[in-house]
Chain A
Amino acid sequence: MALNLIHKTLAAILCVICLTGCVQAVPPDLFVALEAIDQDLIALRAPEAAPEEYGQFVRQWISLKARVQLDDDLIRWPWESSDLENDLRRLYVIGERTVSQLHERHASQHRAAQAKVVRLEEQLHTITSKVESIDGRILLGEKGVQTDLLVKQARSFFEQKDFQRAMQAAEKADHALKAQALLLSRELGRYADESRITYWQTLAKQTIDWSRIHQSTAIVVSKADRELTLYKGGRKVLSYPVRLGFNGMLEKQFQGDGATPEGRYRVTDKRGQGQTQFYRALALDYPNSEDRRRFELAKKSGKIGPAKGIGGQIEIHGADNALLAQTLGCIMLDNSNMAVLYGGVSVGTPVTIVGALTRENAVALALSELAQPREEI
């Protein structure tokens, strides 16, 4: 009887030892830790940002998960080694390393994208102000808003933490900025062309000489400086700031282009109060024979459409009614200045309009700054 009891007790002890000695094949906390690694990778946008690394991790993770779920031998003796647990531990180490690498990469991409977007915004701001300063906004056409859109897109993607697309948009915007600079340089390059400037200087000098020789008045307008200068007897009497047409920096080609003509003109008519809607006006003989010759040539070569007209009624005028004041190719002065000028000139006064009088004119300087190599975006 006693022996039976001893046997039973020993059997019970053995059972308890066996049961307590058995362990799970995979420690639950290891499984939870791997789940957390997976969540970290998702939070770091690894599936999009590092699809290869995430793919490698996830393939192993899914495979091991399947083994955990499907393997029957989930209980083992403590002294038994578990391949599954070892594989999971290895994957944990790989996962942790990937998370750490992605953290670093994410931070580095964040820094790089931020720097690019900020630099781009600064460049856009600088270029926009330069373009404004040389009345180039219209000249750029839709390019201006397109570039603006790309810069804003880069900012939006950056804020959404989509650094890859932020960089792509930034690069496109950078190209667009370069294209803007090229376009401006092509259209306004003559302001930096030495031979053209020499020609303009000659025109202005001849006008001043004429004023000196004839002891008469003459006007010289520099478009780049937006300045009108009145000479009397070859001496500078006064200078006033002027506004030009909305495309004033261009050379006038046809009616409605908003450009201000360049060349030698004369005052053909003085229009006082009641004769002009612009306070006072000095009508010029645009188009003159040289303008007509150039216009016909451009038409023949197809540079100007056959339906285009040469335009006319170019004046130096004031702004009698501020609401009506306009500069569609004319030269506009403030009324007080216009009053002085109007009183100082007579019909027949030569008016020479040139692009620029110096090599360091405002347009040439702006173009040179725009063309300067910028830090790569």
Chain B
Amino acid sequence: MLRKASLVSLAVTLIVIAGCAEPPTQQIQEAEKALKDAQESGAATYSADEYAKLEGTLTTLRKEVADQDEKFTLFRDYGKAQQLSASAKADSERIKAASAQKKEEAKAAALQAQQVAEEAVKATQDLVAKAPVGKDRAAVEAIKNDVEGLKSLLKQVQASIDKEDYPAAQTQAKAIHDMSQGVSIEIQNALAKVGKRIPTKKK
């Protein structure tokens, strides 16, 4: 008799415990927040594939919670949801760190390219000061005009860096560097032809 009563109470306890299963709300919120943090760190740009997978995990998590919510109270089991939340949170943090690192690398590369471009423009400017103001005055003025243009383009590189568009900044800086070199070669060729110049008068 006593044994029977124990079995009944055990069954009731189990039912109560099972009936009390609650979704891991806090863990889910933490996972959602971790995803948002990862996105803000540039994960969608710098770790696009992993970020997409992370979004997939969150979708799966939401579906799992919804599936369990639909079940009869006694049969709900949020164990998988808990596992998914934990895994999403851990992955988010890892991706956030990786993206931040990749972003820093892209920034460093853009800054490096910017510096190289600035130096190239400066060198070209110095060379323009020695440019022949001789026979082809129009060409020299055109070169000066181009150098002014290059100086102005450097501002665009800075604007791209400010917008954190590092790939654009890098391509701009590279183009400016190439163009500066082109102008420098143009001046050097002119210098080689006619030697050092004497300043001219204005008209």
Interface residues, chain A, with chain B CB atoms under 8 Å away: 41-42, 45-48, 51, 54-55, 58-63, 66, 70, 135, 137-138, 141-142, 144-146, 148-149, 152-153, 156-157, 160, 162, 165, 169, 243-248, 255-256, 258, 311-314, 319, 321-330
A42-B53 Cα distance, complex, nearest whole Å: 11
Neighbouring A residues of B148 by C-beta, 8 Å: 142
Q: Which residue of A lies closest to B133 (CB)?
A: A326
Q: A63-B60, A66-B60, A149-B153 are in contact. Are A328 and B137 (CB under 8 A)?
A: yes
Q: Which residue of A lies closest to B180 (CB)?
A: A145
A138 pairs with B135, CB closer than 8 A: no
Q: Which residue of B lies closest to A252 (CB)?
A: B203
A314-B133 Cα distance, complex, nearest whole Å: 18
CB distance from B201 to the nearest CB of A (A): 8
Neighbouring A residues of B142 by C-beta, 8 Å: 137-138, 246
B174 interfacial contact with A, CB 8 Å: yes
Q: A255-B202, A313-B203 are in contact. Are A152 and B133 (CB under 8 A)?
A: no
A144-B194 Cα distance, complex, nearest whole Å: 27
Q: Which of A153, A245, A326 contacts B172 (CB 8 A)?
A: A153
A323-B52 Cα distance, complex, nearest whole Å: 65
Neighbouring B residues of A325 by C-beta, 8 Å: 134-135, 137
Q: A142-B152, A146-B149, A152-B179 are in contact. Are A63 and B56 (CB under 8 A)?
A: yes
Q: Which residue of B lies closest to A71 (CB)?
A: B80
CB distance from B139 to the nearest CB of A (A): 8
Neighbouring A residues of B19 by C-beta, 8 Å: none
A305-B7 Cα distance, complex, nearest whole Å: 104
B134 pairs with A322, CB closer than 8 A: yes
Q: Which residue of A lies closest to B177 (CB)?
A: A152
B56 pairs with A62, CB closer than 8 A: yes
Neighbouring A residues of B53 by C-beta, 8 Å: 58, 61-62
